[in-house]
Amino acid sequence: MLSISLGPLVISISQLIIFLGLGIFWGLTYLLTRQHLLQKAILDTVFKAVVVGFLASRLAFVFTMWDAYQGNWWQLFNISDGGFIGYYGWLSGIVVLAFYARGKKAVMKNYAIAGFVGFCSMIIPNFALSIYQTGVQLPQSVVHNIQGQQVNLQNFKGKPVVINFWASWCPPCRKEMPVLQAAQKNNPNITVAFVNQGEDLHTVKAFLNEQQLDLNHVFFDQSSNVSRESGAAGLPTTLFYNNQG
C-alpha cells in the first residue's frame, strides 16, 4: 500500500484518491448550483455529508475492533492507524445528502451527476494503483533482529513473504497478532516477518511476553525507512510478496 507522509500523519494513495473524488464532487456541485439561490445551503450539506461519512467509517472500525482498544482509549482518536470502514462512510454520506435534498428534484439531480463524475474520477487512479502495486518488490532497506543484527529482507526471496508492520500501542495490531502467529506456524513454506515501527527492544519483548506470543522473524524498523520504502500507510499494514520478492 503506497503512501505519503505529512509530518506525523501518513496518508495512503488510495485515501488521496478518495479526497480527489470528493473534491471533484464538491467542485462540480458548486458549478451546477452556481445559479441556485440556495447554493450555500447545498454546499454546506456536502460538507455535513463528508463529516458524517468520515465519523461513521471511523466509528464502524472502532466498534469492530472494540476489544483491542480496551486500555488504549487514546488510540480511538489516532486516525493515523488508517482505521476506517469505507462503505459505512459512503452510505452515511449519501443518506445525509438524500435527507437534505428530499423533495428537491433539481438538487438531487445535481448530487447524482456530481457523484457519478466523482466516482468515475476514482476508478482509473485506483485501477492504475492496483497494477503498479503488483510490481512492488521487497524493500531493500535493512532492519534489525532481536539480537541487534542487521537483516536485509531481500534475503527472504525464494519463497512467499508476508511483512506485517506493527506497534504494540496499535489496537488493531494487537488484535491480529494471534492470527498472524497461527499463520506463521501453520505455513512454514511462507516467511512471515513482523517489522515493528519505532519501538525499542524492551518494549517489544514486554509486549510479546505479556501477550504470550511466540513469533519468529521479529524485526525493528525504528526510523521507519522500510515502511516508507514499502509505502505502508498507517498501522497495521500487511504486505504480500511472491517467491520472487
Average pLDDT, the chain: 86
Q: Cα torsion for 177, 179, 181, 185, to the nearest 10°?
A: -170
pLDDT at residue number 66: 76
What pLDDT band is residue 245 in, cutting at 50, 70 and 90? low
Residue 71 clears pLDDT 70, i.e. is over it:
no
pTM: 0.61
Q: Region 34-58: what's the mean pLDDT?
A: 94
Percent of the chain with pLDDT over 70: 86
Confidence of residue 8 (pLDDT cuts 50, 70, 90): low
C-alpha grid cell for residue 223?
Answer: 526510523
CA distances from 122 to 12, 14, 143, 217, 227 (A): 14, 9, 35, 37, 25
Query: Quick one: how many helices (H) and strands (E) in the chain?
Result: 8, 8
Supply the pLDDT for residue 135.
Answer: 47
Q: What is the pLDDT of residue 136?
A: 66
Query: Which range, of 59-73, 91-105, 195-209, averages the lowest pLDDT?
Result: 59-73
14-28, 134-148, 173-187 — which is least confidently predicted?
134-148
Q: How does residue 225 score in pLDDT terms, banded at 50, 70 and 90?
A: confident
Residue 188 backbone phi and psi in degrees, to 5: -65, -15
Per residue in 85-127, pLDDT tens?
888 999 999 999 999 999 999 999 999 999 999 999 998 887 7
Closest CA to 93 of 13, 26, 9: 26
Beta bridge partners of 11: 4
- CA–CA separation, 104 vs 3, rounded Å? 40
How confident is the model over 137-172, as pLDDT tens digits? 788 889 999 999 999 998 888 889 999 999 998 888
Q: Is the pLDDT of residue 72 over 70?
A: no
- pLDDT above 60 (res 239): yes
C-alpha cell at position 40: 450555500
